[in-house]
Chain A
Amino acid sequence: MEGSSTGAAGEAQGTERRPVRVLLADDHKMFREGLAGMLASSYAEEVELVGKTDTGEDAVALARKESPDVLIMQVDEKLEKAKETLSQILRVDSTSPPKVIILTMFEDPRILREVMKLGPNTFVHKSASVEELLSAMRTTIGEPTGENVVMVMPQGALEESEDGSAGGGVLTKRELEVLVLAARGMNNRKIAHHLGLSEGTVKRHLANIYPKMGVGSRGEAVRKALDNEWLTIHEITAEVDQ
């Protein structure tokens, strides 16, 4: 764990803006050190790196000590661990929690969906440029409500997420909506009405869903979706105006 106890350099004086105080948590030493060096040398007026670490425990401790404006955190396969770390950091100062920027290498839409559940303000894929990362950070800082999520990710991954071509039976957003409503016991006509689609389109979505999931019926599809945690009981039992 490497922290700074010097406080925010260049505190606001008159109209001068103080640098954004950033905490960096990333497993890869080369990137962590490299980005730290880069920020210190080329972006010192804009960004003050108050700490960097490769562990969740240290990230929580540094957040407690430094109260950063922004947490840049890598998320890899250990999603549960990331979730725990984030929740602890956001509890450190519940009145003014840091804005969270998640960095990841994931492109699989299913995993991205899980990552988004961590509740970041910003999501940046590592295939983005450093300038895009900084631009996303500026937007995040300038977004007062925290209601919008800033995303920088490969266009290909977005397209796969939309059209379901990611392979391995990934359902599109629309197909998931159809599946949820089917799981709630709606027939095709009601699903069509609810989603503003034609009945034929609903049938087509279901026809696409079954082979993708390797199932032959609605019942099997729902069971498999629950087993794989693509759907939750809450989603199925949530009240809906039928």
Chain B
Amino acid sequence: MYRRSAVPITAAVVCLLVAIEPQMYREVIALNFRQEHPRSEVVLASKQNLRAEAESVRPHLIFANGEVPPQLKERGIFWVEVRADDRLDATISANGYSDTIHDVSVQNLLEVVDKTLEEFAHGG
């Protein structure tokens, strides 16, 4: 897994689309992202309007329950698919890197955001 950068990445602006269900989880995650990366654009979407929001805001990174629509994956977007069981497991795909994390934490998700910022920091 990525390690979070010791030096805050403050210059970059990326768009994060958070479509995790249920709503309470989505809001909690989004607020943590906004706190850690205040310059990033954090957009919330329900499962139902994930695709429409993705078309509208063109996110760099998507967090969703279950499978992120293949049409979005094909665009080279980074994505995290979260699945709920006894614990929450997450499958991560970021620029060719992929990993599955059991009992995913906020820290794990922030590491993916960091990676996204590194990749897209200069308009990539």
Q: A interface vs B, CB < 8 Å?
A: 27-31, 33-35, 37-38, 41-42, 76, 103, 105, 125-130, 133
Q: Is the CB of A29 within 8 A of B31?
A: no
Query: Is B23 part of the contact surface with A, judged by Cβ < 8 Å?
Result: yes
Known interface pairs A29-B105, A103-B24, A127-B24; 18 further A-B residue pairs with C-beta atoms within 8 A, sorted by A's residue number:
A28-B25, A28-B84, A29-B103, A29-B104, A30-B25, A30-B82, A30-B104, A31-B28, A33-B106, A34-B29, A34-B106, A35-B28, A37-B35, A37-B106, A38-B28, A38-B32, A125-B22, A133-B24
Interface residues of B in 9-49 (CB under 8 A from A): 21-25, 27-29, 31-32, 35
Query: What are 21 of the A-B contact pairs (CB < 8 Å)?
Result: A28-B103, A30-B88, A30-B104, A30-B105, A31-B25, A31-B28, A31-B88, A33-B106, A34-B29, A34-B31, A37-B31, A37-B32, A38-B31, A42-B31, A103-B24, A126-B25, A127-B23, A128-B23, A128-B24, A129-B23, A129-B24
By a CB distance below 8 angstroms, the chain B residues around A125 are 22
The 9 closest A-B pairs by CB, nearest first: A34-B28, A126-B22, A127-B22, A33-B106, A130-B27, A126-B24, A34-B106, A29-B105, A38-B31
**Residues A29 and B28 in contact in the complex (CB < 8 Å), given A34-B106, A41-B35, A129-B23:** no
Report the interface size class on chain B: 20 to 34
Q: Is the CB of A33 within 8 A of B107?
A: yes
How far, in angstroms, from A135 to B92 measured CA to CA in the complex? 34
Q: Is the CB of B105 within 8 A of A33?
A: yes
Q: Is the CB of B27 within 8 A of A129?
A: yes
By a CB distance below 8 angstroms, the chain A residues around B104 are 29-30
Q: How far is the CB of B2 from chain A (nearest CB, A)?
A: 16
By a CB distance below 8 angstroms, the chain A residues around B23 are 126-129
By a CB distance below 8 angstroms, the chain B residues around A33 are 105-107
How far, in angstroms, from A155 to B22 measured CA to CA in the complex? 15
Query: Is B55 part of the contact surface with A, judged by Cβ < 8 Å?
Result: no
How far, in angstroms, from A202 to B103 measured CA to CA in the complex? 50
Query: Is B122 part of the contact surface with A, judged by Cβ < 8 Å?
Result: no
How far, in angstroms, from A130 to B84 measured CA to CA in the complex? 19
Q: Is the CB of B88 within 8 A of A105?
A: no
How far, in angstroms, from A127 to B47 measured CA to CA in the complex? 12
Query: Is B75 part of the contact surface with A, judged by Cβ < 8 Å?
Result: no
Q: How far is the CB of A87 from chain B (nearest CB, A)?
A: 22
Give the nearest-CB partner of B36 in chain A: A37
Interface residues of B in 69-120 (CB under 8 A from A): 82, 84, 86-88, 103-109
Q: How far is the CB of A227 from chain B (nearest CB, A)?
A: 28
